[in-house]
Chains A and B, each alone.
Chain A
């Protein structure tokens, strides 16, 4: 079937089987491999994307469900000049990246949180990340990076 939706702020139309997941649509049909597959049962968050402003596990979303809606993936997260945005730069600066496999999902979770709660506490950040597993970092520097991003964005708004 033809699936039409907005992907990273661009309209797309893609021919794909109707029984696949959004994750498979992104990875196998659109070759956007930044969203990772690691459990396919909605437990790890490696496949996280933002669907109409909500963080979702793309492995649990049927591809046709996104018709007419807006999907943001890690490929759509960047600064206006095309470089890393402040969240991505903070992930680098705070040492939040180790193997990196969970990181696209973590950044999506961080961005989704700040859309709803621009000034979260560390505990609120932890709760927001609870669906995203990381086996390398112990989460601490990821929390640092999201906290720093929230603070710097708040300063910019002020």
Chain B
């Protein structure tokens, strides 16, 4: 094993000091002289035609300086990738409650609100769709964009995987499970709400501070929709107060709106959302309805899977084509089958809208498949952990997509690790026989695989730069954002390791479109792999120059060089300080700023055939939850949680463990409480008093561990971690509840009534809180 100085060792996060002191400046902390406050007029109807939109009365309101609508953008601010169905502000129609219609800039937040109220906006209500099962009915009202291929406009896409004929195999199986499962939408609930600040530049361009996933995407939308050249728009990521996939499309709109207003008013314009506005306007994790059929033979060999699902993207496509695709790839779980079909259809409705969220479709499908696998094991009378061990993907196996796994497959080791850590066998046996009439315990397990980086969702490359300054400080840039997971620390560790210098020398810029190079979106847990490799290569290029300088200085060949701390040693073993080598390199005229680009290995996916190599590598993991259910109230207490993950080599341990703990907490909320309930298109929970996320007393002590397989293409053998920890949590807890109560909860979340009664109580909702919130400060 190579002995590293930094990689895999504890280290202080690079941006932690300013965060613990309260001096880190998030967007909402910026104050500039003359800064205006922006606020959107938002739709109070789930589906309507904009019949009249007159902003002139708003301009009469004291303090209001400017108002914009979609007319102020090129092509009405149309944007969105891969389907361009979004607008910077609504154009012709609104499709969900909370959609921005016009945007006001004013001297105070109060004046901005008064301005939105003064706008004359006449909406003609249209019939809407709230049930995804009816989105494709022939007479369903049109929500999605018109299409020319004859398909239903509310059809967003079909995402299949085909491997043989599971129907033929299922009839042959000794045991078959055929069940429906359902997930609901989930709110990201980043503690920092959305926000952007735009400052007009002297040359007529705009500088924007945007709390978002990718400054380059924000800049691209600003450039295209406002007609600015690349150099006229600059976007910087200030510290981002949590994102989890959520600060993407919606905050690009916010950025576009303030940029437009800044250009119009020639003053800085800032917009930050209240929690209510954030929850009403923002996109969510989409809801999914699944029918899962899995079959096995008596000996416990899994034989077939037929997974059919509908995914609700709400009013816009946003990232749903990608989340749906990722979901389809993983929908059968990490197992070998004789035959497998996945058949996922994504549709438009008027339930808010769905977009990127940690796990990207996988928490949804795992809530189905990992319960079905458990139910099948139970039917066969086989221990669910043994059943998974017997059927899980191993090195050399071919997946249902047709991909042979040639390295870094640590799934069975993860299962063995959680089995041991949790004392599974003893507890599983003990909890099978309980007599307490009020409280019952259960223990449940899941297994997972999760494709690394974008996969066949897009071209996958990243660029990093590194530079030694005159004062010998080293500065890195990366186009990938760090909205919490710690990737900037990972890059500094990699650079220090490669250069053989003290990490204190190394600084990393905030992501800035003028300093960094476009590296694609910071999504899909791609930061470590893509950005890490780019940094590694940039640092290698720089080290090569320094090595030449050192060899020249020491009168030897490069291969004879040795290092002692930062210093270089030649054959004479007299140490030469790093600074002296750097100075010598300068004198030799060698460049001390380099960059590195890394492209992911080639992969391909045939969308029609439903086959190919969807990802170049997979993260594997296994989790176990131990719960206690109060049979009188239906309250579930998660007592213990065990998670073992194969993320390849772990580079930044505190960060990696933090991803496990945070992921488990987010999944626990998804399992037990979180329910974005749209009643006829109106969100019912619009703040943390009714939308409950896990607190410190809800989350148990988590036993996290890593199975460090080496991945040859990863930096130092690393893969990814940010998303996967969250992915299997809900079914892990549901499987434990099933053992405790003897009853399955097949619809998320497993709240009191579902656990207690096995059904959802019908609640009466109301549009009132949304409507009031959209009109108040």
Contact = CB atoms under 8 A, between A and B. Distances in A.
A69 B535 CA distance: 51
A122 interface: yes
Main DSSP-derived SS at the A contact region: loop
Interface in B18-35: 18-26, 28-29, 31
A133 B17 CA distance: 20
B577 interface: no
Contact of A138 (B17, B21, B664): B664
Given A34-B23, A93-B12, A133-B695, A101 B192 contact: yes
B142 to A, nearest CB: 36
Contacts of B24: 100
Interface residues of A, number: 56
Contact of A95 (B13, B688, B696): B13
The prevalent SS among residues of B at the interface is: loop
Contact of A35 (B22, B25, B192, B484): B22
A122 B697 CA distance: 10
Nearest to A132: B696
Given A41-B688, A138-B663, A142-B696, A133 B13 contact: no
Contacts of B687: 39, 41, 43
Interface of B: 10, 12-13, 15-26, 28-29, 31, 188-193, 239-244, 274-275, 483-486, 653-655, 657-658, 660-666, 687-689, 693, 695-697, 699, 701-702
Interface string A119-158: 0001001110111111111111111000000000000000
Contact of B19 (A37, A97, A125, A134): A97
Contacts, number: 175
B22 A74 contact: yes
Contacts of B485: 98
Interface of A: 27, 31-41, 43-44, 46, 73-75, 77-78, 84, 88-89, 91-95, 97-104, 107, 122, 125-127, 129-143
A31 B22 CA distance: 12
B275 A95 contact: no
A130 B243 CA distance: 22
Nearest to B12: A92
Nearest to B657: A95
A84 B12 CA distance: 13
Contacts of B21: 34, 74-75, 77-78, 84, 88
Contacts of A94: 654
Contact of A137 (B29, B274, B658, B688): B658
Nearest to A127: B697
A78 B689 CA distance: 32
B28 A126 contact: no
Contacts of B655: 95
Interface centre among A27, A94, A102, A140 (most CB of B within 10 A): A140
A27 B24 CA distance: 14
A37 B28 contact: yes
Contact of B13 (A92, A101, A104): A92
Given A135-B191, A141-B658, A84 B242 contact: no
A97 B16 contact: yes
Contact of B696 (A74, A75, A89, A130): A130
Given A92-B20, A139-B699, A133 B29 contact: no
B191 A140 contact: no
Nearest 4 Cβ contacts at the A-B interface: A34-B22, A95-B654, A100-B19, A138-B661
Nearest to A73: B22
Contacts of A31: 31
18 contacts: A33-B22, A36-B192, A44-B688, A84-B20, A84-B21, A95-B654, A95-B658, A125-B696, A130-B697, A131-B695, A133-B189, A133-B191, A133-B688, A134-B696, A135-B662, A135-B665, A140-B661, A140-B699
A98 B358 CA distance: 15
A139 B16 contact: no
B486 to A, nearest CB: 7
Nearest to B15: A100
Contacts of A92: 12-13, 16-17, 20
A88 B689 contact: no
Given A39-B275, A75-B22, A130-B697, A141 B191 contact: no
B242 A99 contact: yes
Contact of B241 (A41, A75, A99, A129): A99
Nearest to B690: A43
B191 A102 contact: yes
Contacts of A99: 190-192, 239-243, 483-484
Nearest to A98: B484
A100 B483 contact: no
